[in-house]
Amino acid sequence: MYKNTNLNLTSLEKLEEDNLIKKTISFVKDFFKGESSGHDFYHTMRVYRTAKQLAKIESKTKNVDITITLLASLLHDVDDFKVSPETDNEKSNAVKFLRENNISEENIKKIIKIIEDVSFVGKDSVTPSTLEGMIVQDADRLDALGAIGVGRAFAYGGKKGRVMYDPNVMPNLNMDETTYKNYDSTTINHFYEKLLLLEDLMNTSSGKEMARHRTEYTKNFLNEFLTEWNGEK
């Protein structure tokens, strides 16, 4: 039964053993069996761990509802249009799970709003209205950066049958949601179209700090890639 809001830091560790969190982890593990689009169980777990880390830091100075944050981080991709297009509108996989676990309708609403606002969709991307939403969005975006982010971008491109790079195809920096979702580009262009924009879009200061480090790594990778491409090294 859901009852704890605004948990303090000591109870954060206990939450690991919380049955509800455990149950949610095993629900997503089961849900993502066989998924290889980069939206897999381990992506969800990384987002969960990063969200927990950001929540820990942010809650030193602000009120953070840790349970809402962690549930939203774990459920953020179970109705994603790429994974489950038929439930994307209603977010029915998440809603069904939360209802079955007796989460109040008020809290379900909060969690669903976070999930609805989480995605990067070009210039139509949304800034979440709550700190919990900001944390989950930052955590999800951080997983698109750094070594993991580079790996995910190439895994995604490979799955879509895209070329790594084509110097004749320019990045499109002004995409709305529909264009972004249907756009067929190269994986290297994705770095310019999304990855390198994320640091400036971070909502929390703890997220921004992590993004700074991961963006630097991502830029170094990109420079190395283009240098090798041009036969300069």
Binders of ligand ADP among 147-166, rule CB under 6 A? 149, 152-153, 156-157
- Choosing from 77, 79, 193, 199, the residue that interacts with Ni ion (CB under 5 A) is 77
Binders of Ni ion among 121-180, rule CB under 5 A? 140
Nearer to ligand ADP, 113 or 190 (CB): 190
Taking contact as CB under 5 A, which single stretch among the options 48-56, 69-77, 155-163, 175-183 is the one that binds Ni ion?
Answer: 69-77
Taking contact as CB under 5 A, which single stretch among the options 65-73, 76-84, 155-163, 224-232 is the one that binds Ni ion?
Answer: 76-84
Taking contact as CB under 6 A, which single stretch among the options 61-69, 85-93, 138-146, 220-228 is the one that binds ligand ADP?
Answer: 138-146
Shortest CA distance to 187 belongs to which of 168, 214, 160, 213?
160
The least distance separating ligand ADP from the CB of residue 122, rounded to whole angstroms, comes to: 10
- Binding string to ligand ADP for residues 63 to 82, with x set by CB under 6 A, is what? -------------------x
Q: List residues binding ligand ADP (CB under 6 A).
A: 38, 82, 119-120, 140-141, 144, 149, 152-153, 156-157, 185, 187, 190, 194
